[in-house]
Amino acid sequence: PLPSGYSNSKWAKVPIEARRAMSVAASNGDWPIYLWGDAGRGQSCAAAAAFASWSKPAIWLGFSQLCDDLNKFNTSQIVTFYSGATPVDLSKSGYWQRLKNTGLVVVDEIGTKDSSGHRFDTFLQLLELRKKRPLILTGNLSPEKISDTYDERVLSRIYEGTVIQFV
């Protein structure tokens, strides 16, 4: 399900140029798709519209949530997560496997906190894991800021896909 606050996200609310660019990228397999721009420009709305219209299994995560989830494995080999109301026990490798095998993964707000080593490693591993697989990233960081915040390796993996600016 969509996270709260995105239930009204529809393709009609997404700028036509962004809709077209996302459609072309998805059709051509140009993953990941990075949607970026100033806050409130519609990146997350566009990601939510894509998520809602995806016909295969999909996962929506905030980047901070992804990092927090993985931190839980520092104190436990098995962690219980919830898929809706259903508890699911996963190991760290099982968690990554779930992200790898899901049809679409959307990671919202990739640049909202510091870029600690853990966050950098998580981001790089996610990009490697989802290489040429459906992955939508949203954020407020320009490509140049991604390079400054993380490094060139992260930026080069994002540029293997499609970068769409919301103005």
Could you give the maximum distance between any two Cα atoms of the chain, in Å? 46
Q: Please give the pLDDT value at position 85.
A: 83
Q: Please, what are the averages of pLDDT over each run of 10 residues along the chain (167 residues)?
A: 82 96 98 96 96 94 93 92 87 95 96 78 96 97 92 95 97
Output the six-digit token pair for 74: 């520092």
Residue with tokens 């993964």: 105
Please indicate, yes or no, whether the overall pTM of this predicted structure exceeds 0.85: yes
